[in-house]
Amino acid sequence: MSRVLMLALLLALAANASAQTPVKLKPGDVAPQFTRSDLQGHPFDLRRGKVVLIDFWASWCAPCILAIPHLSQLQEKYGARGFQVVGVSMDDSASTTKETMRKIRFNYPVILGDAKLGNLYGGVLGLPLQFLVGADGKILATRAGEFPPTALDKEIAAALKKAGPG
């Protein structure tokens, strides 16, 4: 009987934990780790050692779509120096994202996000949303809403300089 009660208690705690308020992330916080398969068919693992731009986007988000060519350009410019963009699609289905990927060239991994991943990053309750993560795994900057891509270029260059030769 006590085992049944213990199990019920654990289940209740787990349910409560899943409904807890997500922690809002800020610069200096460690970027939560995650591992997923990208929609190009490769495993993606957010590990330390690279400067990573996590771009939460969706097919229905016009400013996000317009930013993708700029992000591809940044990937091309800084990829060899240890920079990685990862696109996290918040589309409701993989098929919607894949349809967009057929229309736009992505030169970086795209994974399908969900509420769980959104909550891990403090709640993705509006797009565009980006996190720039340093090589030490700590968040360098967060950006919500539209912004000029030129600012991002300077931040990436500074982060790579700080990280040293990759």
- 84 belongs to the binding site for another protein (CB under 8 A): no
Distance CA 113, CA 88 (A): 5
Site string for another protein, 6-45 (x = CB under 8 A): ------------xxxxx-x---------------------
Query: Whose Cβ is closer to another protein: residue 108's or residue 134's?
Result: 108
Buried b (16+ CB within 10 A) or exposed e, 17-51: eeeeeeeebeeebebbebebebbeeeebebeeebb
Query: Whose Cβ is closer to another protein: residue 63's or residue 166's?
Result: 63
Tell me which DSSP letter residue 126 carries.
S
DSSP notation for 39-73: TTS-EEE--TTSEEEEEEE-TT-HHHHHHHHHHHH
Nearest distance from residue 76's CB to another protein, in Å? Answer: 8
Report the residue from 86, 111, 127, 160 that binds another protein according to the rule CB under 8 A. 127
Interacting residues toward another protein by CB under 8 A:
18-22, 24, 58-66, 68-70, 73, 90-92, 100, 103-104, 113-115, 118-119, 123-128, 144-146, 149
